[in-house]
Homo-oligomer: A and B are copies of this chain.
């Protein structure tokens, strides 16, 4: 086995960009402030110097325009990485992503591939208030034709991009801005990762915690606390929000007979709704109790820390909820 290295989430993404650009000269990065500014979150700092302005392209505020341009470039044989600074601004590019990137292959009878990768910062946790704290994975996960990935760990922050660039189909990658500075250990040779499967991060027998994105480390932390109290939780990171790998979490539920789905997005019509529905449909008779959900409160996220914290599930909320579910 290879050595472990300490790395921030930010650095993990950056290395992936760097490596993919070195490997394939069809790859280029375009987005607002990715070049001269060094990336809104300093992810691409230094890359402009390394690759020059043709491959690290600063673009004007024109989300629809440059995302569409990325689609066009992909159609024409390039491998663009389009950075939509954060998901909050992705609505402006939604038409391009949903009506073009997601439909062209099918609508053209298989003629036109759109091998674009769209990365966006996502989530809550920096007191940025209503218009800048969205968790909109559910929108993207609804749309056939897209592959939707959520990088809930450092390995995935690094590996998903590398794999996505091999995909003939459009891939959306959600990155979690609240985790950028977080340091973790990953294998020094960690590279491309599987992008069709969910992952069991911790095995357990009492309950399945099913989550993604910023929920992953939170659930792992909760599982540790729960273990101390004698509750053995299995933690599953969905990773691929579309097409969803249900086998992994169904197998888990068939083993533990109980599940809690945890996500930061608003509760209604969310990823967790879909997970619960699939368990209902395919593992109903394995359940000892109803599956429950801990999700984002359905409110435009407010600015103050205490209200922001109250808007999404925290580790203690997960712990408490599991205890209530198992020891009512």
Q: A residues within 8 Å of B by Cβ? A: 64, 88-89, 91-92, 94-95, 98-99, 102-103, 106-107, 129-131, 138-139, 141-145, 242, 244, 265-266, 268-274, 276-277, 279-282, 284-285, 287, 289-293, 298-300, 302
Contacts and interface: CB of A to CB of B under 8 A. Distances in A.
A292 B302 CA distance: 37
A61 to B, nearest CB: 12
B293 A277 contact: yes
A292 to B, nearest CB: 6
A284 B276 contact: no
Given A138-B269, A273-B274, A273-B276, A144 B298 contact: yes
Contacts of A91: 91, 94-95, 98-99
Given A92-B95, A130-B106, A300-B106, A142 B281 contact: no
A290 B278 CA distance: 10
B142 A269 contact: yes
A89 B139 CA distance: 16
B290 A281 contact: yes
A266 B300 contact: no
A65 to B, nearest CB: 13
